[in-house]
Chain A
């Protein structure tokens, strides 16, 4: 993307701070581990092995640190609670990224540690400072056994976590990643063999932790690193309990565009707009949890998610509900052709079909939901102008947010929010019919024509039919012929620099936010959900136009 590795890692202040803290702390711990081993008189016997033992002990301490850190970004519930307070300090939404950085670091230090130990043990055997062979240490003592097992588990976990495999077969990744349980057990018990000792034989005792700390003088790092493990385990149990609380699938709506809307009643489920949840349908798969964005507003009496039938699981769900791909495909086709004008079907594009349990001989399956989990779009009400940009299916979180804004607007509790700019970039708008009906509702409810502006960009190649549709229906009509909204659809891709430049000009000129005093900095927050390439260009536009009067901030959602 035109920027070098150096620019990316060192010239961005936040990234630079991260690199210094993260890698700095690793190197510092390595140095401390090395030093404390080398200068420890009680370990003079081990120190006769020289560099290899110093290296292995340093790297061992670093690995303990990584083992403690690796689970921290996965404490989803705790992150959800702390992120509103701490979002200025660290990007709480980049937790998976951080998890990966720790994992890479762990792989590197595991290599250093293992290599050093291979040298250690062969030298123990040759010098006989302990009356053992190398292979006895490797394959009969706890340190060696757990170490080799952890390496094997790491190999399996890392290879299945590659994005290519995750995309192909999420289950392979999901199930093998639960080997982490055994990995963590291995990590906590790695030192129980009492390899680092000042006595001739390991000093085992009958009580926990089964070796005496008088003679077994390792770093005892498990006392610290076990806490994230315990908290994570507790969190998983808590999630399981929470998921079992009374949940009922109250309604299933099928939109002609092919999306299924599940309306779920769960009184114990509290969330804010823009968050997402995991959903599980035990009938389809007992162990799989699938993430979806919540599309209902917190004010709604139900939780809804919109599901398109694109994968195995979602197709399975469609079959289960009697609206398999074939049924939906014909509906989608009809919607794509603009069947809303077809009087015979009697369906408007915005309309939906409710699956009636009594009419169709189908029972609704049991569902369980887990969540909610955070997303940056929670903070919409803290800025003056919110720019919401959705690309393709990435538009879903904004359904909830727009609905929520609409509810808040009715109650007159908009906070500092003065204007909302909504951008939607998509290839074929008609296939998102359900979203259009929502936009339609929100737009129709606007009293102030300037509060919400909807900009829809259609990037698909325009066919002849559509062209004629536009030519015949567009001029002079009140509504856009494609989306049935008052806002006109634009064609092609937006030029972000231009969009932001105009916005900045308008804000500085004072026409955009009437009455805003020019001493105050206007905060314009952009929320984006969609592909990474687009995110980058929007972020660049934001950074480019941030000035003394207007501050553009940027936040991205992850799936």
Chain B
């Protein structure tokens, strides 16, 4: 009955997920843990799970140097800059691209799923990406904002 405009809805999910991702990545810098370390890992008391040797690459990128949380934080901020949108991004035509959002969100899923705090951000980003895909498949496009909508007195 009602007419849901999917990309407008997806924007809210995407904002929520990205805020979560930024906040999770921040804690990922302090409490560093590879989410999938239980695969083949052994539990040591005290010390927690010792990951399997095969996961050495991820341990390097998440625990030894928090590269993955940093990337996902930057990515989350980039998505927020597009979605909210930041004034300078608003002027670019790429800002209105829905496929770009899907790609960025899928990258966000990939990075946030890797570390301990990012799971929910990953699931929600996946939902947001799914809604954007639905919007694209329905042929929705973002309209260009009308010019001269600025505050009174501005040209």
Bound pair (A, B): yes
CB within 8 A of B46: which of A126, A152, A169, A312? A126
In angstroms, Cα B48 to Cα A288, docked, is: 52
Q: Does A115 contact B (CB under 8 A)?
A: yes
Are A115 and B12 in touch, CB under 8 angstroms?
no
Are B48 and A155 in touch, CB under 8 angstroms?
no
> What 1/0 mask marks residues of chain A from 169 to 193 whose CB sits below 8 Å from any chain B CB?
1111000000000000000000000
Enumerate chain B residues within 8 angstroms of A160, measured Cβ to Cβ.
9
Chain A residue with the shortest CB-CB distance to B17:
A155
- Contacts A128-B48, A168-B3 given; does A159 touch B38 at CB 8 Å: no
In angstroms, Cα B35 to Cα A128, docked, is: 18
Are A164 and B8 in touch, CB under 8 angstroms?
yes
Contact segment of B104-112, B117-125, B139-147: B117-125
Q: Does A442 contact B (CB under 8 A)?
A: no
Are A155 and B16 in touch, CB under 8 angstroms?
yes
Interface residue SS majority, chain B? helix
Are B2 and A168 in touch, CB under 8 angstroms?
yes
**Residues in A137-182 with C-beta less than 8 Å from chain B:** 138, 148, 151-152, 155, 158-160, 162, 164-165, 168-172
- Contacts A115-B23, A127-B46, A128-B48 given; does A172 touch B9 at CB 8 Å: yes
Q: Does B116 contact A (CB under 8 A)?
A: yes
Chain B residue with the shortest CB-CB distance to A115:
B27
Are A171 and B2 in touch, CB under 8 angstroms?
yes
Enumerate chain A residues within 8 angstroms of B33, measured Cβ to Cβ.
122, 134
Q: Does B5 contact A (CB under 8 A)?
A: yes
**Residues in B1-59 with C-beta less than 8 Å from chain A:** 1-5, 8-9, 12-13, 16-17, 23, 27, 31, 33, 35, 38, 43, 45-49
Enumerate chain B residues within 8 angstroms of A119, measured Cβ to Cβ.
27, 31
Are A118 and B117 in touch, CB under 8 angstroms?
yes
Enumerate chain A residues within 8 angstroms of B8, measured Cβ to Cβ.
164-165, 168
Chain A residue with the shortest CB-CB distance to B124:
A155
In angstroms, Cα B49 to Cα A134, docked, is: 9
In angstroms, Cα B38 to Cα A170, docked, is: 44
Are B38 and A172 in touch, CB under 8 angstroms?
no
Are B23 and A148 in touch, CB under 8 angstroms?
no
Q: Does A235 contact B (CB under 8 A)?
A: no
A-side interface size class: 20 to 34
Are B47 and A126 in touch, CB under 8 angstroms?
yes
Given A122-B48, A168-B3, 5 extra CB contacts under 8 A: A118-B31, A127-B46, A134-B33, A138-B119, A168-B5
Chain A residue with the shortest CB-CB distance to B26:
A115
Q: Which of B8, B43, B48, B123 has the most CB of A within 10 A?
A: B48
CB within 8 A of B9: which of A125, A133, A159, A288? A159
Are A165 and B9 in touch, CB under 8 angstroms?
yes
Are A159 and B4 in touch, CB under 8 angstroms?
no
Are B1 and A285 in touch, CB under 8 angstroms?
yes
Enumerate chain A residues within 8 angstroms of B23, measured Cβ to Cβ.
111, 115
In angstroms, Cα B49 to Cα A518, docked, is: 83
CB within 8 A of A312: which of B2, B13, B35? B2
Q: Does A108 contact B (CB under 8 A)?
A: no
Enumerate chain B residues within 8 angstroms of A285, measured Cβ to Cβ.
1
User: Smallest CB–CB gap between A336 and chain B, Å?
Assistant: 27
Enumerate chain A residues within 8 angstroms of B116, measured Cβ to Cβ.
118, 122, 134
Enumerate chain B residues within 8 angstroms of A126, measured Cβ to Cβ.
46-48
Q: Which 9 A-B pairs have the closest CB atoms?
A: A169-B2, A169-B4, A159-B12, A125-B48, A128-B45, A126-B48, A312-B1, A128-B46, A171-B2
Enumerate chain B residues within 8 angstroms of A12, measured Cβ to Cβ.
none
Binding site for B on A (CB under 8 A): 111, 115, 118-119, 122, 125-128, 131, 133-135, 138, 148, 151-152, 155, 158-160, 162, 164-165, 168-172, 285, 288, 312-313, 316
CB within 8 A of A169: which of B3, B49, B124? B3
User: Smallest CB–CB gap between A525 and chain B, Å?
Assistant: 36
- Contacts A128-B45, A169-B3, A171-B2 given; does A148 touch B16 at CB 8 Å: no
Are A131 and B27 in touch, CB under 8 angstroms?
no
Are B13 and A159 in touch, CB under 8 angstroms?
yes
In angstroms, Cα B119 to Cα A118, docked, is: 11
In angstroms, Cα B120 to Cα A138, docked, is: 11
- Contacts A111-B23, A134-B33, A158-B16 given; does A172 touch B46 at CB 8 Å: no
In angstroms, Cα B127 to Cα A355, docked, is: 48
User: Smallest CB–CB gap between A125 and chain B, Å?
Assistant: 4
Enumerate chain B residues within 8 angstroms of A115, measured Cβ to Cβ.
23, 27
Enumerate chain B residues within 8 angstroms of A118, measured Cβ to Cβ.
27, 31, 116-117
Are A172 and B123 in touch, CB under 8 angstroms?
no
Chain A residue with the shortest CB-CB distance to B13:
A159
In angstroms, Cα B103 to Cα A17, docked, is: 48
User: Smallest CB–CB gap between A488 and chain B, Å?
Assistant: 34
In angstroms, Cα B17 to Cα A155, docked, is: 9
Q: Could you list 17 A-B pairs, sorted by A, with CB under 8 Å?
A: A118-B27, A118-B117, A128-B47, A128-B48, A131-B45, A133-B43, A133-B49, A134-B116, A135-B35, A148-B120, A155-B13, A164-B8, A165-B8, A169-B4, A171-B2, A172-B9, A316-B1
Enumerate chain B residues within 8 angstroms of A138, measured Cβ to Cβ.
119
Q: Which of A122, A148, A152 has the most CB of B within 10 A?
A: A122
In angstroms, Cα B33 to Cα A125, docked, is: 11
User: Smallest CB–CB gap between A191 and chain B, Å?
Assistant: 20
Enumerate chain B residues within 8 angstroms of A159, measured Cβ to Cβ.
9, 12-13, 16
- Contacts A151-B120, A168-B4 given; does A135 touch B38 at CB 8 Å: yes
Chain B residue with the shortest CB-CB distance to A172:
B4
